[in-house]
Structure 1
Amino acid sequence: MAYSTPPPVDHPGTFIEEELESRRWTQADLAYILSWDASQLNKLIKGGTSITPDTAVALGDAFAMPAEFFMNLQKMYDLQKARKADPGVKTRATWVSIFPVREMIKRGWLAETEADLLDLQMMRFFDANRIEDIPLIGCEAVAHAAKKTGYDEITGTQLVWLHRVRRIAAAATAPNYDRTKLVEALPDIRAHMLDSEDFGEIPNLLWHCGVRVVFVQQLPGSKIDGVCTWLDDQPVIGLSLRLDRPDNLCFVLRHEIEHVLQEDGKATIYSHVDVFDPDRDEAGLPDEERRADIAAAEFLIPQEKLTSFMLRKGKWISETDVLAFSARHNIHPSVVIGQIQNRRHRAGDTRAFAFLRRYLTKVHEHFMSWPLRDGWDTVAEIGL
């Protein structure tokens, strides 16, 4: 859109001089009215000084005009004379209003350069040829973003995280995806969920099936746990380890594997961006999300067995009970604890998440040797 150049604005002293002529007053007359020294008034008329609020009130009284008129004259003149704004201000403001640019620079995803290169960097980051093709900037449709699981539209921060996952995955060459191998690998994946020391082997099991697992640390202010996205016919699972606890890792991973098995999102430009909030509306989830939730929960613990266990023990479930139940079902105790916590929370127990919390140890350290990762003081080397 083109804007016309505003006409030049004279110093307020020019108006004062013209007003004196129209009234047939001399500068000495106005100096007398204002009780000013004549040289003081002459300096204002010649543009050597500016109109202050006190001056505006005095001139308003002298000319029977609003004081605001004189203040506005001075303001318009000052704005015209002000140094032209850095043209990069608008560029930076446009991007920062939608995406976490400063955090992207801090994480090494963008270089801290002049603003005129920021547009180019953002287009490269989003693999777009034009700014108009970047989601949330130039179009209403959010490319590569799913209908979130019962939440509103995806945020700019979540979209950035998703694209970082995709860029890291695209930089790695994996075997062709083989669904049969993935199905056959499920028991081995499940077996590696018994001991947290074995968690780190799971990404490699999926790699041999043609499924790339990418870990990208959560961006501040965003809620995102996992994603299933596709690069052509190759599935990618992105994990943020947001809660950094074993039960969440195992559930989110198996949930995303189900999306892969069902090829959810493969035929569209959308991906499944998942946030697992204990207070989310389960009834409002899309069918594919409910299906993945059920598959994940059943994969980890037979749900009928867990229901029977909780009914028998009631509210008096002990640590010994949990350890025995987890050993019987060959799963890490934290997975049992996490599911008990969530069930109790949904039943209204306000202290549900305090139950045996010491077993919910951090898990990110088990994946620090995996090459497809970003964050935790590591920057994936994929270029801009």
Structure 2
Amino acid sequence: MHVKPIKSESDYETALARVGDLMSAEPGSPEFDELEVLSTLVEAWEAKHHAIAHPDPIDAIAFRMEQAGLRQRDLVPYIGSASKVSEVMKRQRPLTLAMIKNLHSGLGIPAEVLLREPARGPGKDALDPARLPWGEIVKRGWLPGFTGTTREARSRCHELVACLVPQSANSCLQPALYRRSIRGGAAMDDHAVTAWTSRIVSLACAQTLPGRYERGIVDGAFVSGLVRLSFLDDGPRLAREYLGKHGIHLVVERHLPKTRVDGAATLLPDGSPVIGLSLRFDRLDNFWFCLAHELGHVALHLGEGGDEWFVDDLEAEAEGGERSREAEADAWASEALMPAETWAGVGSVRREAEVRALARKLSVSPAIIAGRVRFEQRNYKLLNDLVGQGEVRRQFGVA
């Protein structure tokens, strides 16, 4: 084994390439010893010269899952079992060299990233401005007046973090840093969630709504009026107007990588509710259910203090203490969109003509009925032409 110190960027790149070559080394071999030494040298160089160049390994795994549309169960072949996957993604179990080799070869995650020391578990570290997703923040133009590169933004992260929310809305930033209830199937990057929720707050605070929110207004009559708008071609846009007239902010912002967020809900310091939607799935059935789910949180769970966010990946199962509240919001949304008494009297509906006829009778979007049928039968190939694919983002000007 002949290992040289890393004294330049060229040495660093050479060492990284060699680390990749050695990932198949067997424990106890000279090559494995070389891998360990090189990994230590690479980490030391990065700590000094690239302190924020690479993501945390768990963040990198979550990002790769986001890119490939994977769930935690898809990691079992690389990590070993469902329980091990859960513990790794919750930062309760360290990655072993065998796991690192499997993730590197199977998912293409750079070895130098997986070899890094993971951050501590959620809630144990304060917000670190350096770990915010500056690439996306710069690309999306979230920093008014800033025209520099991502590298420049990262180098000025402590200064620019305050620019995520306009000065006029600084008092609204605080809810984005409050306690969060996150429903997610994969580990969500806390800093990416903070960036997204901060953006939602910023856009909400920039809105001037025509109406004032009255606590308790979100009830059966309120939601019945909202759902009737779904029957109209521009129902989603009209829904935002309807909510605004009742003092409820509806903000649309595409989700960030490593979040898988569908929607979120909170209260601003003035007590007005904010619902954020990512339109991650551009379908009418998804829009109406997600909106109703977040309104469920407004009606059932958000108190006067505005001290909490509900952040939801609606494909995921809620865990632990959040399971009951998420189940309540799911049930509230289902009842709001299609009351159980009405649905019980419908009978079997499978054909497109039957769905359209029922939609006309009930004055709701066919997408709501089609979505309900697909969900209950767990068959998402049914009624594809009725769920409104590609009909939501254009109404909000989202690419």
The one-letter code of the counterpart of 2:332 is A
SS at the partner of 2:252? strand
Q: Which residue of 2 aligns with 1:240?
A: 278
- TM-score when normalising by structure 1: 0.60
Whether the 8 Å CA contact 1:226–1:252 is kept in 2: the answer is: yes
**Structure 2 Cα separation of the partners of residues 120 and 283 of structure 1:** 37
In 2, are the aligned partners of 1:228 and 1:259 still within 8 Å (CA)? yes
Q: 1:99 aligns with which of 132, 135, 144?
A: 132
Give the counterpart letter for 1:105 in structure 2: V
The aligned counterpart of 1:178 is 214
Whether the 8 Å contact between 2:237 and 2:396 is mirrored in structure 1 is yes
TM-superposed deviation, 1:85:
9.2
Matching residue of 2:178: 144
- Match of 2:377, SS? helix
Structure 1 pair 264–200 and aligned structure 2 pair: CA distance change class (3 A): same
1:196-219 deviation digits (Å, cap 9, x = unpaired): 323211111111111111110122
Q: 2:358 aligns with which of 299, 302, 325?
A: 325
Matched residues in 1 for 2:263 and 2:313: separation? Answer: 7
CA distance in 1, matches of 2:276, 2:285: 17
RMSD over aligned Cα, in angstroms? 3.7
257, 265, 268: which one pairs with 1:228? 265
Shift in Å at residue 270 of structure 1?
Answer: 2.1
Percent sequence identity is 25
The corresponding residue for 1:364 is: 393
Report what 1:165 is aligned to.
Answer: 200
Is 1:261–2:299 an aligned residue pair?
yes
User: Are the aligned partners of 2:229 and 2:238 in contact in 1 as well (CA < 8 Å)?
Assistant: yes
Q: Which amino acid aligns with 1:319?
A: E
Unaligned runs of 5+ in 1: 1-8, 10-78, 129-133, 136-141, 346-351, 369-374, 377-384
Q: Which residue of 2 aligns with 1:342?
A: 375
Alignment deviations for residues 58-100 of structure 1 (CA, whole Å, 9 cap, x no partner)? xxxxxxxxxxxxxxxxxxxxx9xxxx99987425658798432
Question: Which amino acid letter does the alignment assign opposite residue 364 of structure 2?
Answer: I
Please say which structure displays the higher CA radius of gyration: 1
Work out whether 1:214 is the aligned partner of 2:251. Answer: yes
SS at match of 2:265: strand
Task: Tell me if the contact between 2:263 and 2:294 (Cα under 8 Å) persists in the aligned partners.
Answer: yes
* Equivalent position of 1:188 in the other structure: 225
Quote how far apart the aligned CAs of 1:260 are. Answer: 1.8
Amino acid at match of 1:366: Q
Hey, what does 1:117 align to over in structure 2?
156
CA distance in 1, matches of 2:258, 2:301: 30
- Give the number of equivalent residue pairs: 270
Distance 1:276 1:148 in 2: 10
Structure-2-length-normalised TM-score: 0.58
CA shift for structure 1 position 194: 1.2
- Structure 1 stretch 114-123 or stretch 240-249: which is displaced more? 114-123
